[in-house]
Structure formats: C-alpha cells, structure tokens
Amino acid sequence: MIERIRILWYSRRLKKIPISYDHFLRKYSQYYRDLHPDLQLTFRERTYIASKLLIFRPVKFSIVTDEMKILITSALIQITFGLDNYLLKRFNTILVVPNTYSFREYEALLGHVDFDANKIVMSWPSVQEGFIIPDDAFNVALHELAHALQGEQLDPYLFSKFFSSLKMSKWEEEGIKELYKIRSKRHEFLSDYAGINMKELFATCMECFFEQPDEFKVKVPRLFNLMTDLLKQDPTQNENPLLSK
C-alpha cells in the first residue's frame, strides 16, 4: 500500500521532472539518445519514478549524487522498457562504492548482487565506464540489474514478476545449449565468463543484447529472438525498439 501511494505521489509530479534527468541520460545513454522523443519522455518518467523508489546508500564516500542515481536507474529502465513492471521490490537497495572492492573470497569486484542481504553493490567508476563505452558488451549496471531481475523472478512472494515464466523457460532451454558451446570452446560470440553458470549467461547476454545487438542477432539468432520475446523489445530498432504487445 505504501509503495502504491509513493508511486502515485511521484506520478503526479512528472511534469516537474528536473532537467538533470534529460541531461545525464543524454550524456551517458546511447540507448536513450537513439529513442524517438516521445519514447524519451516515457523513459525519463520511468527513470524518475524508479529513482525515487530505490534506496541508494553510499559506501566509503559521503553521498550518492543525482548523477549516480539517474544513471544506475536508467539501466533498470533500459532492461524493462518493453515491460509493464519496472520497479524492483526485493532488491531495491543499491550500495554505491567509489572503487573496486573485495567481498568474501572475491577481490577487485566491479559489482555484485548479495542474495542473502537483498542488496545490489556497484562500483561507480565501473558503472560510468559501462555507459561511456556503449558497444563493448561490458556494462556493470546492466549486468548486475539483470542478476537482480532474475532473482526477483524466482521469488514466489512477489505480486508480479518481470518476465513471463513460459518465455523464461524457453530462454533457459536455449541458453543451456549455448552454455555447453561456451564450455567446449565452440562459441563465436559469447565470452567464456558467460559459461560459468546460467545466471552469468543471462547477465552477459543482457550486456550483449543492448551493446552489440546487431552482431548478437546474426551470430546467435535463436537466443537473440528469445531475448526480444522476453524483454518485448529489439534494440536493433534504435528509434523505437518496443515490440507491439
């Protein structure tokens, strides 16, 4: 109930979205710059609402700036732009750190999702780099938010999921085939890292889907088509990537 009230509150203030949203989206997001102006408006509105509902916490520095909030939130909106649901529930707390960091047995991390604490952690310089270079299939924000969305998909207590369970099952069936190709060194497109497990395959595919969509579409057409069906958008169609429902 509280969340619905907050959504309504910010929805009524869409005409007063600060100009900083358009400024930072244009500065960093190739996806946003390519959209038709009408869709840019929708993208800004979703980014504004979602950024107000997410909980951002700085770690080892004083404040999470508007620039950080807008850019990180834009990755969530980019992934979910073709979907009705675009608001995180379980993983709605995002910790922003100033550099790479260590967590448990891992060192020099750029970001991760803590499934025990229900939090997302991201290194701000890594987030920036992921957007400044828009075509290298390396985007920390897209990668970690893909993990979070996949995690929420598995939570039986959510009132609504992001993806159709049937479409996700079809993607996983095809994804397993690609996973074996990667592990046997027979894949011409996806990185070895994508072969670690199905979670990393999904997150890596999300980066490739948005940053190298034309090559993805040609080299792994079946998986690409299942991604478009899952996300209800085709990023090769720059000005209007949304698919009719």
**Alpha-carbon distances of 2 from 17, 79, 92, 124, 231, rounded to whole Å:** 22, 25, 14, 30, 28
Query: CA dihedral in degrees (195, 200, 204, 209; nearest 10)?
Result: 110
55 - beta bridge partners?
93
pTM over 0.85: yes
| pLDDT tens for the 245 residues of the chain, in order | 566 667 776 777 777 899 999 999 999 999 999 999 999 999 999 999 999 999 999 999 899 999 999 999 999 999 999 999 999 999 999 999 999 998 888 888 999 999 999 999 999 999 999 999 999 999 999 999 999 999 998 875 654 689 998 999 999 999 999 999 999 998 989 999 999 999 999 999 999 999 999 999 999 999 999 999 999 999 999 999 999 75
What type of residue is 223? L
Q: What angle do CA 26, 32, 37 make, to 5 degrees?
A: 95
The answer to whether 143 and 150 are in contact (CB under 8 A) is no
Distance CA 188, CA 181 (A): 9
Distance CA 7, CA 233 (A): 24
121 - beta bridge partners?
95, 112
The answer to whether 111 and 120 are in contact (CB under 8 A) is yes
CA nearest to 117, candidates 99, 103, 97: 103
Query: Are β-strands 101-103 and 119-123 bridged in parallel, bridged antiparallel, or unpaired?
Result: unpaired
